[in-house]
Amino acid sequence: MNTEKTSVKTALISVSNKNGIVELGQRLVGLGVEIISTGGTAKALRNAGLQVTSVSDYTGFPEIMGGRVKTINPLVEGGILGLRDQHVREAEAHDIKWIDLVVCNLYPFAETIQKPDVTLGTALENIDIGGPTMIRSAAKNVGWVGVVVDPADYTTVLDELKSDGGLAFGTRKRLSAKAFGHTAKYDTLIHNHLKDAPLSDDFSLTFEKQTDLRYGENPHQKAAAYKAPIAAEPNVLNATIHQGKKLSYNNIMDADGALACVKEFDEPACVVVKHANPCGVAAGDDITDCFHRAFNADSMSAFGGIVALNRTCTEEIAEALRKIFIEIVLAPEFEDGALALFAKKNNLRVLEIGQFGARDPKLEYKYVDGGLLVQETDASTITSDNLSTVTKMKPSEQNSADMLFGWKVLKNVKSNGILTAKDNTTLGIGPGQVSRVDAVEIAVRKSGDSLEGAILASDAFFPFRDSIDRIAYCGLRAVIQPGGSVRDEEVIAACDEHGIAMVFTGARCFKH
């Protein structure tokens, strides 16, 4: 393996993304580098007045089959792959010129498959074959060849060639790793687009670094944010950030959870999140009223939290938030007056998500030692048709509406999760407890003296009647839960004894 500096006498340039390519060519020619190029790239360089040798002229073989075959040729691949200290005689025998630098990026497959109604044929025609072959060849022969796949690296390479007369091994190795990452991402996108089943036998993921983060969950943990290369539904990572400090790891996690919860609602809604759990949620007809009800549902927990809206953030909401400490406010858009008020709070992060609707069905991932867990997101919904009343007491119309509201929130509460709600507003939320009765205790305690006529929602069945006995004299009028316990009859009997209505959903909504 050659680890010494290598000179660059010949460069092969073939790019789909032509940003900066003319300046690159001009500076390479100025350094005495011969350029071999293909198709549109050669045309762009010639139009800039540069002397370029076409691949067809070099190989003596024309581009054929509509351009599908042009660079896959021994004169090209041999020039890239040949070891300068071992293959000189073979190269001379076959008139192979050493190619010292390969500048290449690939057909826009990702952009193509995001177009509406793209056909399989169109997608296949935008799968690059010759490009990945040249890139991988150059990246493999890192001892002798430099490879550049990112226009952001043009200046670095050019400056090093000018100042040092060649490329250092460290530079070539860094570019080689980046090149293999480029083709790996490309192949992953193709694989995921063509496979028939989302949960296929072979599972691949690819992401692009968006930014380094100050730290992870704690200051001693390094962290970074990566985004999907295919444009996704409006999300925290592609939001417009109007102001505020740089988002932290915890900020992004909590904001993502807040956005997921507020997407549960078609009507105006506000969600306040603290430490990955909703602490106040309200839905209704007016977004400003929803904000006030959601925030006041647990204003103590809301301190230092995140406020998510699914309608335009009004100036009135901004005026209220200006007086309290929160980390982030996110919404589809903001009134100008709201932005002007927020500007007086320099550290507040203001995220404009853009217009969004319900969460798109997709997969979600959790890493575990040795592998990856993959599941569909919980995009399930329940309606009154899904509810089965199992007690003598029937829920009122308002109780039923509050139970459906509460279930949407509960899907986003860490389990074991319990919440109480009334008039489309949460009263108390007991998240993430190892005992369901403890979660009930927290939710009831946080509800204060507001439980008269309220409902209680549980993300999984009650294994015993103890939770029902705990709420018997609080004023709660109805309970929604999945059902399915071997002691369902015991729990139902407890509700009947205390005059509480209970409905089963037939499905749970755990969130770990």
- pLDDT tens digits, one per residue of 245-272: 999 999 999 999 999 999 999 999 999 9
| pLDDT number for residue 26 | 96
Cut 0.95: pTM above it: no
Tokens 């919904």 appear where?
381
- DSSP at 203: -
Contacts of 190 (CB under 8 A, 6+ apart): 109, 127
DSSP per-residue letters across 236-247? STTSEEEESSPP
Question: Could you say which of 140, 191, 227, 498 is catalytic?
Answer: 140
Distances 405 to 421, 436, 456 between C-alpha atoms, Å:
8, 20, 11
Q: How many CB atoms lie within 10 A of CB 221?
A: 10
Distances 79 to 38, 76, 289 between C-alpha atoms, Å:
16, 5, 70
Q: How far is CA 280 from the centre of its chain?
A: 25
Homologous superfamily assigned to 10-194? Methylglyoxal synthase-like domain (3.40.50.1380)
CATH-assigned architecture of domain 380-504: 3-Layer(aba) Sandwich (3.40)
Instruction: Return the structure tokens found at 176.
Output: 């080689």
In the predicted structure, residue 442 carries a pLDDT above the cut 80? yes
Closest listed residue to residue 452, CA positions, set 472, 475, 468: 475
In what helix (H) or strand (E) does residue 368 lie, and over which residues does it extend?
strand 363-368
Tokens 């996690």 appear where?
253
Q: How many CB atoms lie within 10 A of CB 278?
A: 32
Q: Where in the chain is the domain with CATH 3.40.50.1380?
A: 10-194
Beta bridge partners of 124: none
**Are 338 and 313 a contacting pair, CB within 8 Å?**
yes
In the predicted structure, residue 294 carries a pLDDT above the cut 90? yes
Chain-wide mean pLDDT for the chain? 94
| Residues of the chain above pLDDT 70, percent | 100
- Tens digit of each residue's pLDDT (9 = 90 or more) over 169-208: 999 999 999 999 999 999 999 999 998 888 888 888 899 9
Peptide bond into 416 cis (omega under 30): yes
| pLDDT number for residue 238 | 93
Phi first, then psi: what are they for 476, rounded to 5°? -65, 135
| pLDDT number for residue 61 | 85
Closest listed residue to residue 459, CA positions, set 283, 302, 277, 293: 277
| Residues of the chain above pLDDT 90, percent | 86
**Are 212 and 381 a contacting pair, CB within 8 Å?**
no
**Are 110 and 154 a contacting pair, CB within 8 Å?**
no
In the predicted structure, residue 232 carries a pLDDT above the cut 90? no
Closest listed residue to residue 382, CA positions, set 355, 420, 410, 342: 410
* pLDDT confidence bin for 375, thresholds 50/70/90: very high
Residue range 371-400: mean pLDDT, rounded: 94
Q: Verify whether residue 70 is a known catalytic residue.
A: no
| pLDDT number for residue 302 | 94
Instruction: Return the structure tokens found at 82.
Output: 């040949």
Q: Which amino acid is at 339?
A: L
Q: What is the largest CA-CA distance in the chain?
A: 97
- Tens digit of each residue's pLDDT (9 = 90 or more) over 306-323: 999 999 999 999 999 998
Residue range 285-314: mean pLDDT, rounded: 97
Closest listed residue to residue 36, CA positions, set 84, 91, 103: 103
Question: Could you say which of 191, 275, 292, 498 is catalytic?
Answer: 275
Rounded-to-integer distance, Cα 265 and Cα 424, Å: 11
* pLDDT confidence bin for 45, thresholds 50/70/90: very high
* pLDDT confidence bin for 41, thresholds 50/70/90: very high
Rounded-to-integer distance, Cα 260 and Cα 271, Å: 10
Beta bridge partners of 328: 306, 349
- Tens digit of each residue's pLDDT (9 = 90 or more) over 324-362: 999 999 999 999 999 999 999 999 999 999 999 998 888
Distances 207 to 181, 184, 213, 240, 405 between C-alpha atoms, Å:
10, 11, 16, 20, 35
Beta bridge partners of 240: 352
Residue range 436-451: mean pLDDT, rounded: 94
Specify burial of residue 451 (Cβ count, 10 A radius: 0-12, 13-18, 19+): buried
DSSP per-residue letters across 439-450? HHHHHHHHHTT-
| pLDDT number for residue 289 | 97
Q: Which of 60-64, 145-149, 375-379 is the most confident on average?
A: 145-149
Q: Where in the chain is the domain with CATH 3.40.140.20?
A: 233-352, 380-504
In the predicted structure, residue 71 carries a pLDDT above the cut 90? no
| pLDDT number for residue 397 | 95
In the predicted structure, residue 67 carries a pLDDT above the cut 80? no
Measured between its terminal Cα atoms, the distance across the chain in Å is: 49
Pairing of strands 10-14, 34-37: parallel
What CATH number has the domain spanning 233-352? 3.40.140.20
- Say whether 202 sits in a helix, a strand or coil: coil
Closest listed residue to residue 290, CA positions, set 424, 433, 479, 436: 424
* pLDDT confidence bin for 66, thresholds 50/70/90: confident
Distances 398 to 389, 394, 477, 478 between C-alpha atoms, Å:
15, 11, 11, 10
Residue range 283-311: mean pLDDT, rounded: 96
Rounded-to-integer distance, Cα 495 and Cα 403, Å: 16
Q: How far is CA 471 from the centre of its chain?
A: 40
DSSP per-residue letters across 399-433? HHHHHHHHHHHHTTSPSS-EEEEETTEEEEEE-S-
Distances 159 to 163, 169, 276 between C-alpha atoms, Å:
6, 15, 47
Q: Verify whether residue 411 is a known catalytic residue.
A: no
